[in-house]
Structure 1
């Protein structure tokens, strides 16, 4: 058992190298304070998340005052005045994680946590406890603090995901301007092609994966982009080929880089698309 004054139990791990820009874990721990133990009124310059694993206590911020019990989570925001206190009769046992980074506020907002609504409830606290513990145990004070920091941020993202999954009712309502399902699927298809154009993409496979018949997906895709998926894929490949031809790769290497195993077939497709061969296009670029 590890103990510090005013706590029966206290376990903590501290990040020696919190360099992640969007989300970095500063420290994580868990403990059971003495009855009536109080923190604040104070302010922090980081985000601090507490989840009550057992017992009771109270949390107060500029926007809320609430008695917290098993399964309740409260979040302290940077610069916000807060206080919290263990119950006198049944002091809480809680876990916590401190965060900083440019992306933390947005991630919290995405799962329904804001300064105005800094509380939520979760039934499956055993999984939460496991994630808090995994985060804390990352900090072994080893010779590789950078790796410890990366692992901790990963476990904390899973923790935030768990909060969101258990509190879907708190998530921001879908804005009216968000696309309908088919539009979102077309966006996924576009992203798929944009990231995988160098692979041997099967439009049939892509359509099946997205849950649509090829004909239906192709029709919707063309309505949105003006091109069929096959035409869009070819355009993506040719545009990338033009960019690569400005460098020092051979024609064979350019062809392979944009998804063509046969350089001659690539050259024929490039001529159809641009009106000149890859070599002619490269010569034109070098003349400019």
Structure 2
């Protein structure tokens, strides 16, 4: 993500004391967010954090990375990384946080962090100290199972039922193994055209602020540019270029909630120049950026929903 975040809005909060090594290998919390305006950074000092989105869509942001999240999105966050969840305008996000200790992830003689799938799932993106994993998407059935079991784990954890540590440990390891199996299946099915198109669409969403070219996307999909354009339009109903523009505009619309600098928005959303951003905005939205900001929240929401 280019540019600096407005420091007058963001405050750093460190979530300390959530995990006690001597008592349990992990904890789980359930969070909700309906704010399109970010409030504060959050980080954890110990262990890895697994984030699983149950519903809604929004952005998981660090100072250097911005990941678009939706139902079924999973991401891993190392300790000391500053993150914040921002709901897309007009909707609420609901997600589970699993904070766990990697040195406790063992089933018999199998140490899960040594498994290739786990290491690939944990492959980090970003720069410096603010690196998080790539986003991985699981199917609705597994997401429903995670939601159900996480609710049971939270209840057992909250009331400290006898044997709660052993139950929670077993349940979490079961969920993690299922996630790793799904991750392996997803990798194996990448050869299918539809799956490759979804991968490219997710890549565009994550990197919409960068300079993206059709040749580069085609190479990533292991397809010719013409084949990618044909199949992308068949699956997503729009061309890759149009999809990129819509992603950039959605990001710009969300930034209007907390940023008044149109030049900064144009730059951070990948438009480069303010004049190009304004022309594109007026052509697609029918209003100038300044006129859009003057609309009521209800009318803004209607416009945003059309771009979803």
Question: Shorter-chain-normalised TM-score: which range?
Answer: 0.3 to 0.5
TM-score in terms of structure 2 length = 0.43
